[in-house]
């Protein structure tokens, strides 16, 4: 069963769940982060994090340490720690002169990465001696705003997409806190900032996602394409141009399934298998519109035949989301197999999709 939750008319810029999915952090297109607690079907706002001066652009909630990291257009990031019933902020020394755009905790939660408009990535770690969060920069050869990041399961490699039409994989090895990394299918040289791979695109890269085993990387671009690089298969790259509007977010639903969503307001499932990337289905079964692209033409042709004039204009989309979906998180399961996923969009809605209940043609390992 699909759950639909409405948080008002303001767009949801980004959202993140706590470990047991009883609390939700979301940014309602402002400088605040609202922490909601769920009780049955009711949501109660428990805390408001208001340390930022400008719009919050990204949130990530560490499942084990229960720390929240936020970044904003004010060029700052804060790590929030729970103290009794309130959240205490700690400023992070990002050392950037443009807006921070995206933030993600590493799998071990001992560091996080922040992308920004200053053509660099800040890899941040905690220094016990001075009790603050420091950062080291990955700069070259990034030539424009970093729009998205994702960590490899080994806690060292970092994928990023940017507005210079490039997808890259870097080493984010921090000698002070990381053990010496072992070689992976992406390469063996792991010094900080070393570029393991880069891939050209024909549009801005909106989202990147490593597979559960870290051997594959998927990303979506503004030219309505979805791409997958299989590092195990000699760095083979496949890019599929779709008939849909550009996607803004993506996530692996299994080792071969990829869920994407964006300006079409509807999550969609793709399958990667044996070097082929194919469209499987749309997850939103509330749609009534024909998918062959000729429904509008047929509608007006029938109106002409019957001499019907339509005076009323229906502005509602035939999807649950009424505006672009800009964030997607795993609600239940993992990248090895998602059973429920959560989408939030510019319409102020948050939807939890039950992939098992929908009975989709999901890859077998799911």
Q: What is the pLDDT of residues 234-290, one digit of tens each?
A: 999 999 999 999 999 999 999 999 999 999 999 999 999 988 999 999 999 875 544
Is the predicted pLDDT of residue 224 greater than 80, yes or no?
yes
Class (C level, CATH) for 3-358: mainly beta
What are the CA-CA distances from residue 55 to residues 31, 33, 71, 75, 144 (Å)?
4, 10, 9, 10, 20
Identify which has the larger pLDDT, 358 or 2: 2
- How confident is the model over 86-94, as a mean pLDDT? 96
The pLDDT, as a whole number, for residue 366 is 44
Assess whether pLDDT exceeds 50 at residue 327. yes
Average pLDDT over residues 11-16: 97
pLDDT at 1: 75
Task: Flag whether pLDDT at 153 surpasses 70.
Answer: yes
pLDDT at res. 356: 79
Burial class (CB in 10 A: 0-12, 13-18, 19+), 81: middle
The residue ranges of every structural domain in the chain are 3-358
* Residue 80 tokens, joined: 């929030």
Residue range 60-81: mean pLDDT, rounded: 98
Task: Give yes or no for residue 126 having a pLDDT over 50.
Answer: yes
Query: Any residues with CB less than 8 A from the CB of 130 and at least 6 apart, and which?
Result: none
- Nearest-angstrom CA–CA distance, 179 and 49: 34
Using alpha carbons only, give the angle 46, 49, 53 rounded to the nearest 5 degrees: 155
What pLDDT is stored for residue 290 in this prediction?
A: 44
Distance CA(206)–CA(246), nearest Å, equals 9
Provide mean pLDDT across the span 143-159: 98
Residue 294 pLDDT: 46
* pLDDT reported for residue 286: 74
Which of the four pLDDT bands, split at 50, 70 and 90, describes residue 39?
Answer: confident
Question: What confidence tier does 316 reach under pLDDT thresholds 50, 70, 90?
Answer: confident
């Amino acid at each position: 069963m699909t759950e639909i939750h409405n948080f008002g008319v303001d767009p949801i810029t980004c959202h993140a769940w706590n470990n047991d999915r009883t609390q939700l952090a979301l940014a309602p297109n402002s400088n605040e982060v609202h922490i909601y607690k769920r009780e049955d079907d009711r949501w109660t706002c428990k805390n408001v994090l208001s340390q930022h001066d400008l719009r919050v652009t990204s949130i990530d909630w560490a499942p084990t340490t229960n720390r929240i990291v936020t970044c904003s257009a004010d060029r700052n990031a804060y790590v929030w720690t729970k103290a009794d019933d309130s959240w205490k902020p700690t400023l992070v020394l990002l050392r950037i002169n443009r807006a921070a755009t995206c933030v993600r905790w590493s799998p071990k939660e001992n560091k996080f990465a922040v992308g920004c408009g200053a053509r660099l990535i800040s890899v941040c770690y905690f220094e016990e001696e001075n009790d603050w969060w420091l950062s080291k920069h990955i700069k070259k050869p990034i030539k424009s705003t970093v729009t998205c990041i994702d960590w490899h399961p080994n806690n060292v490699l970092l994928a990023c997409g940017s507005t210079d039409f490039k997808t890259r994989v870097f080493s984010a090895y921090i000698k002070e806190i990381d053990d010496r990394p072992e070689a992976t299918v992406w390469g063996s040289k792991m010094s900080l900032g070393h570029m393991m791979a880069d891939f050209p695109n024909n549009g801005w890269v909106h989202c990147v996602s490593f597979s559960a085993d870290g051997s594959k990387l998927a990303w979506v671009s503004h030219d309505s394409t979805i791409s997958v690089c299989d590092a195990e298969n000699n760095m083979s790259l496949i890019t599929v141009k779709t008939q849909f509007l550009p996607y803004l977010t993506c996530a692996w639903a299994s080792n071969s399934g990829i869920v994407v969503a964006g300006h079409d307001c509807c999550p969609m499932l793709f399958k990667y298998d044996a070097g082929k990337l194919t469209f499987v289905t749309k997850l939103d079964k509330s749609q009534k519109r024909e998918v062959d692209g000729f429904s509008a033409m047929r509608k007006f042709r029938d109106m002409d035949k019957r001499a019907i004039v339509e005076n009323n204009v229906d502005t509602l989309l035939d999807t649950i989301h009424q505006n672009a979906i800009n964030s997607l998180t795993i609600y239940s399961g993992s990248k090895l197999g998602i059973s429920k996923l959560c989408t939030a969009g510019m319409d102020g809605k948050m939807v939890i999709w039950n992939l098992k209940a929908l009975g989709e043609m999901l890859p077998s390992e799911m």
